[in-house]
Amino acid sequence: MNLINLRKKESHYLLLLSKIIAEEVTNANVIGPTVSDVKLSNDGSHLKVYLQFLSKEKKGLIAIENAKGFIRKKLAERINSRTVPQLHFFIDEVAIHAQNIEKILQKIKEEKK
């Protein structure tokens, strides 16, 4: 699959999964889910989904993992493809690292004054 088609599919999956997870997954442990990024394998058979939660990240991730079949079924209903990729969920740690860097930079700024 060429790079342009891969990126188009990734953006399409991102929109669909964001809507499915935010609106249709009703587990109490899933608090404020946000799909921050998706990465599709070159053959289109696996999709890594990076999530952020407002709180209870680990419990939210476990709840999403348990709802994986439901999410995949809803995704299959909304795409025009013979195959639906296997879903793999991860907590997006980029925001956490960015906050830590921001705190360090803020301390440096305060020390200079």
Map out the domains of the chain as residue ranges: 3-112
Per-residue pLDDT, 20: 93
Per-residue pLDDT, 94: 85
CA separation for the pair 37, 15 (Å, rounded): 10
Per-residue pLDDT, 66: 92
The string of DSSP letters for the chain reads: --HHHHHHHHHHHHHHHHHHHHHH---TT-BS-EEEEEEE-TTSSEEEEEEE-SB-HHHHHHHHHHTHHHHHHHHHHHS--S--PEEEEEE--HHHHHHHHHHHHHHHHHHH-
Mean pLDDT of the chain: 90
Per-residue pLDDT, 89: 95
CA separation for the pair 35, 22 (Å, rounded): 9
Higher pLDDT, 101 or 112: 101
CATH of the domain spanning 3-112: 3.30.300.20
Segment 51-56 shows an average pLDDT of: 87
